[in-house]
Amino acid sequence: MSSVRMSEGSVQVQSCTAPLFFRQSEPSSGDARMSVLLLHGIRFSSENWLKIGTLDALAKAGCRAVAIDLPGLGRSKSAEAPAAVGELAPAGFLKEVCEWLSLSPAVVISPSLSGMYSLPFLMLHQDLIRAYVPVAPICTDKFTAEQYQSVKVPALVVYGDQDSQLGELSLSNLSNLANHSVVAMKGAGHPCYLDDPDTWHKALTDFLNTL
């Protein structure tokens, strides 16, 4: 008998033209100790978090986890990305997602492409974020050391030590976060969680247990 309840759904936020698809997992008791929002990279979707067992692992750790398909990707293909009026526009998008899905304050897990959404969200709405888990996200160079230092939420910076694309670059910028720890996954590439799901799940649940 599984102790995890899985479901699927869609949510319509004002900043998107069509509904966003999401997958959700939670303890079957329905009594979650925290909410986790899972984003994804450009070649991926919420399906990855299902396949490698992250949704399952989070629910077993007592969390309610929601993995969305970002606008234009996965099963949210018909949803257009929010118009970027200034660099911080995408922040309002994730704020809406968290409000509609009753996730705040959420632990935000953000690999690769999703940095374009999560970093502005982190800078503008850290009161809605319980913790931040960036996995070699893009756009880290768009913010100053001072902006990172002003973020007080706990952060777990994760990257694969074989990630030549964004590993070192994102680490050097994210190391300015005031309250952060780092996990370098040995032998893993850019989507390091796919290369070694067991190490990823252990690092993630260990971090959540400190919150």
Catalytic entry in 45, 112, 118, 170 = 112
Nearest to 55 by CA among 31, 35, 77, 75: 35
- HSE-CB at 183 with a 13 A cutoff on CA atoms is 20
Q: What are phi and psi of 2, to 5 degrees?
A: -75, 145
Catalytic entry in 15, 69, 118, 163 = 163
104 is known as an active-site residue: no
Catalytic entry in 56, 110, 118, 190 = 190
Task: Tell me the C-alpha distance between 150 and 135, whole Å.
Answer: 20
Residue 30, classified by CB atoms within 10 Å of its CB into exposed (0-12), middle (13-18) or buried (19+), is: exposed
Provide the edge-to-edge strand list for the sheet that holds 34-38: 4-11, 20-27, 63-68, 34-38, 106-111, 129-135, 155-160, 180-185
125 is known as an active-site residue: no
201 is known as an active-site residue: no
Residue found by looking up tokens 């649940």 in the block: 205
Length of the chain: 211
Q: Report the catalytic residues.
A: 112, 163, 190
